[in-house]
Amino acid sequence: MSALRKDQPRPTESPAALREKLLPDQMALLYSQIPVAVAGSFLCALAAVYLTRQSIPVSQLGWWLGANGGVLVWRTMLYILFYRWKPSPPDLNRWLVYFAVSIGVSGLMWSIPSIWFFPQLPLEGKVFIMFLAGGLSVSAVSTYSAMVWVPPLFYLPIGVSTVAGLFADGSQTGQVMGWVTAAFFGMLIVSGRNVHRSNIGALVLKLEKESLLTSLEKEKASAVGLNLTLNEEITQHRQTEEALRQSTKKLETAQNIAHLGSWEWDMLTNSVEWSDEAYRIYGRPLEEAITLQVFMGCVHPKDVDKVHMAIQAALEGREPYDLEHRVVHPDGRVIDVKAKGEVIFDESQTPYFMQGTVYDITLFKTVEAELRQAKDKADEASLAKSRFLAHMSHDLRTPLNSVMGFGQMLKKDPEFPLSPHQTESVDLILKAGKHLLTMIDGLLDLARIESGKAAIRMEEVNLNMLLDEMVLMTKPLVTQQDLTLEAPILEDRLPPVLADTTHLRQVLLNLLSNAVKYNRPQGHIRLEAALQENGLVRISVTDTGWGIPAKKTGELFLPFSRLGAERTGAEGTGIGLAISRSLVGQMGGQIGLESTVGQGTTFWVEFPPAVRSITGLQKKASNKTLF
């Protein structure tokens, strides 16, 4: 399974499709030769004028030279415009007509000396014109043979006029030279077709090589650079067999570097060919003759049925040949490979050829297994941590409840009333206990969420009702801290979102309480919701606090991380945002923030609408200070 042998049939395209693919390269070859052809034609025209000036009137020579020069200027302008405008493939046929017309006119201009000047020239002058016409015609065949019918547009007018002029001479020498010239132009027609076939063969070879390189680029991205280099080498040597051998060698090098082998299966001869790299991947010696049975013998016994079914499905045209399987080397070593291939069918949809690639993915499989093991260990460690936190929090709650119970009894005991100083001390004990209970509750929530035991009940949540509820629940805390809360009143109601109502309420309350705690005196809070362009509904809470430096935002969602707020006297445990992030993630949403130091912070959560077909909601909001 390697490159196709010369004696093997190749899949072909329709003539029309092949012509369409070859046209851009043919046009490039034609137009690239214009500068050389124009320079050669101009020099030959000067030589013709110089050598015939004694026999031909200057006025005739001047007219012919000027007209010929005009044609050469026209062809030069065509060359400049072609490469400046770079016409697209649909326009190439029109530019081919321009080129053909210019060649035909140039040929007519060079036929004038044979028609107009021959009667006035001696025999040696006619012979010179004959040789000049022959040289220009040979040059046209070698220069414009990319299109078989283009060179005749140039040399046929010249040949016909030259032969006619020599026969019209009337002398025996003129007759002989006329026949010789006719034979010369006849051979020129034959040789022109041969040169054209050679050029077309080279262009077809170039297309086949480019197709092969494209296939390799899709299989292995890391081999792109080598394939491009190989393509350049193929382009430079496309006209010779040596170029094909060089490109094959480079291809083998690329396969060795990328551990990418290629294979072919000719079903007509039941022969299988591998590239050298395929031999290495399958662990077989290079001199071994490969058959389908040998290939199946390399496949791991437990994967034989899978490979056989994949081949059968590809041959029946049901699905492409693309699978991973194991290979057993003669020394017992087992490797993993990824094989891909395509089947070529004849006109009756009967498969007759299959080719593809095989890639050694053992290293990737090993790394994948190691990453999976590492993830499993991390999950186990996280679960153990959550269980520890749950047990520890439960064990702390019992003695703490006893401490707070005794404190409340001391404070309310009518028989032994406390002094003001003692009452203040007991209040501090109760306040600290309440704070510790809050932290323990947060730890229990966090442990339950991270261990996957938090019950998530997804349902349609009416955001309009939930946001109104949030405003009413937050009102006492906002008023107590001398803050203002603003919320847009939406004329068009928001669509319901998919979330857990209880957990979403917990998340929003946490964000709003943070906006109150970490705001500045007489600050503002803004609660709003809107449908985003990405189709998600965003709920955001904005405060006018001191803001959060960008380098510290990554620490916000870590448990017990308060970014120094514990030194400000603001109450909190540093667990709320960690819990909120876990809850939002388990509900299929996203949470994030945007903050500017000195101006404030916006925390937001996003959830998908319950009805995905809701589009084009117009958000006409008017800000109103609620309290």
Give pLDDT tens digits for 421-431: 777 777 777 76
624 three-class SS = strand
458 three-class SS = coil
Q: How confident is the model at residue 604 (pLDDT cuts 50, 70, 90)?
A: very high
328 with 298: CB under 8 angstroms?
Answer: yes
The tokens for 264 are 């072919």
Q: Phi/psi of residue 59, each to 5°?
A: -65, -40
Give pLDDT tens digits for 147-189: 666 777 777 777 777 777 777 766 777 677 778 777 777 776 6
Q: DSSP letter for 493, please.
A: P
Greatest mean pLDDT among 33-37, 177-181, 441-445: 33-37
Q: How confident is the model at residue 567 (pLDDT cuts 50, 70, 90)?
A: very low
> Percentage of the chain with pLDDT > 90?
13
pLDDT value, residue 228: 65
Q: 530: Cβ–Cβ under 8 A, 6 or more apart, which residues?
A: 494, 537, 538, 619, 621
Reply yes or no on whether the pLDDT at 534 is more than 80: yes
The secondary structure element, H or E, covering residue 491 is none
Task: State mean pLDDT over 115-120.
Answer: 70
Greatest mean pLDDT among 125-134, 248-257, 413-422: 413-422
Where b means 16+ CB within 10 Å and e means fewer, 547-564 reads ebeeeeeeebbebebbee
- Rounded Cα gap, residues 225 and 223, in angstroms: 6
Half-sphere exposure for 249 (CA within 13 Å, toward CB)? 7
The secondary structure element, H or E, covering residue 147 is none
Task: State mean pLDDT over 239-249.
Answer: 59
Q: DSSP letter for 599, please.
A: T
User: Which is more confidently placed, 97 or 392?
Assistant: 97
CA distances from 442 to 396, 430, 452, 577, 579 (A): 13, 18, 15, 10, 8
What's the mean pLDDT when you consider all of the chain? Answer: 76
Reply yes or no on whether the pLDDT at 304 is more than 70: yes
Task: State mean pLDDT over 425-451.
Answer: 66
Greatest mean pLDDT among 38-42, 53-57, 288-292: 288-292
* Sheet with 600-607: strands ordered across: 590-596, 600-607, 537-543, 524-531, 484-490, 621-625
Least confident of 337-351, 479-493, 536-550: 479-493
pLDDT value, residue 31: 80
CA distances from 196 to 20, 26, 103, 277 (A): 17, 11, 17, 37
pLDDT value, residue 625: 40
Burial class (CB in 10 A: 0-12, 13-18, 19+), 218: exposed
DSSP bridge partners of 593: 603
User: Which is more confidently placed, 150 or 330?
Assistant: 330
**Measured CA angle at 288 (ends 283, 290), to 5 deg:** 85
Q: How confident is the model at residue 6 (pLDDT cuts 50, 70, 90)?
A: very low
Q: Using alpha carbons, select from 550, 531, 551, 547 the residue that is nearest to residue 539.
A: 531
User: Which is more confidently placed, 146 or 353?
Assistant: 353
The secondary structure element, H or E, covering residue 157 is helix 150-167
pLDDT value, residue 298: 92
Task: State mean pLDDT over 481-506.
Answer: 80
pLDDT value, residue 613: 37
Give 174-226 as a 3 state SS string: HHHHHHHHHHHHHHHHHHHHHHHHHHHHHHHHHHHHHHHHHHHHHHCHHHHHH
Task: State mean pLDDT over 35-61.
Answer: 79
- Rounded Cα gap, residues 33 and 519, in angstroms: 77
pLDDT value, residue 3: 38
The rounded radius of gyration (Å) of the Cα atoms in the chain is 44
The tokens for 524 are 């503002």
End-to-end CA distance of the chain: 79
CB atoms near residue 126 (< 10 Å): 25
User: Which is more confidently placed, 89 or 197?
Assistant: 89
pLDDT value, residue 229: 67
pLDDT value, residue 524: 93
Reply yes or no on whether the pLDDT at 2 is more than 50: no
